[in-house]
Homo-oligomer: A and B are copies of this chain.
Amino acid sequence: MEARVAEQAERPTSKRRAALTRESILEAALRLCSPEGGGQLTFSRLGKELGADPTAVYRHFRDKDDLVLALTELTVAEGVELARAALPDGPSDDWRAWLTVTAESIRASYLARPVVAILAAARTTASPAETRSVELLISVLHRAGLPVIEAAECYRQLVDLTLAMTQYTAAFSSLDPATQAKDEAAWAVKYGMLPEAEFPLLHRSAPRLTELFRDDGEVFRMILGTFLDGVALRIDRARDGSAGAGRSA
């Protein structure tokens, strides 16, 4: 079935305009999900983008969730690819760089389609491309000195942390500008006009806090840095603990 659809895509059948295919629909949907896409993914908008009836999409995807899941798979695939391109092929000893690049890649590919980030939210897809990447990541942590189980836990923490933060950022960036401004105003009022006598510390750090409000990326990088410091500590502990007994399995 998949093959037949692809065949149709290659030969435009020379009849109607560009027959709808899974791929062409996903492309159009990704266009709508981009930051410039307008902030909403609906069937009517999708139909307009494709020059076809909105309900035609239902011939290729069971429902919206099905479509969103496919978009999510494309997105994580791109994230994995992004990370692979920036990392050596085999496992490396620089676990910190490895984890940083992985996290930033996931984040970048999601933020290129904020709408997907929001809709995918808590969904998990089982994309095969991702699996090898996970195995590699765990192996890097394991070679760094962490027992296997702990390395796996660490991977899970990193991924959840990254996905949650990314979704958090995407949700805010996809608010209409008026609402965003309202929120920013709330921050400014809250932290900019505090009486120094009652809130000396907040008063002094207000400039930095408002600065951080505008820069989600900076906050994420800081969190990631602190988190990785914690991982470093764990690695040290694991090495010290297993020092007398040699390399643990």
A186 CA to B171 CA, complexed, in Å? 25
Q: How large is the interface on A (under 10, 10 to 19, 20 to 34, 35 or more residues)?
A: 35 or more
A22 CA to B98 CA, complexed, in Å? 52
Residues of B within 8 A of A233 (CB): 229-230, 232-233
Q: Residue of B at shortest CB range from A134?
A: B202
How many identical subunits does the complex contain? 2
Closest Cβ of chain B to A130, distance in Å, is 8
Q: Quick one: given A135-B201, A167-B167, are A156 and B219 in contact (CB under 8 Å)?
A: yes
Q: Is the CB of A157 within 8 A of B223?
A: yes
Q: Is the CB of B222 within 8 A of A226?
A: no
Within 8 A of B (CB), among A118-169: 121-126, 131-132, 134-135, 138-139, 142, 148-149, 151-154, 156-157, 160-161, 163-165, 167-169
The DSSP consensus for interface residues of chain A is helix
The yes or no answer to A61 lying at the interface (CB within 8 A) is no
Q: Is the CB of A135 within 8 A of B199?
A: yes
Residues of B within 8 A of A43 (CB): none
Closest Cβ of chain B to A231, distance in Å, is 6
Nearest 3 interchain pairs by C-beta: A122-B172, A152-B205, A229-B230
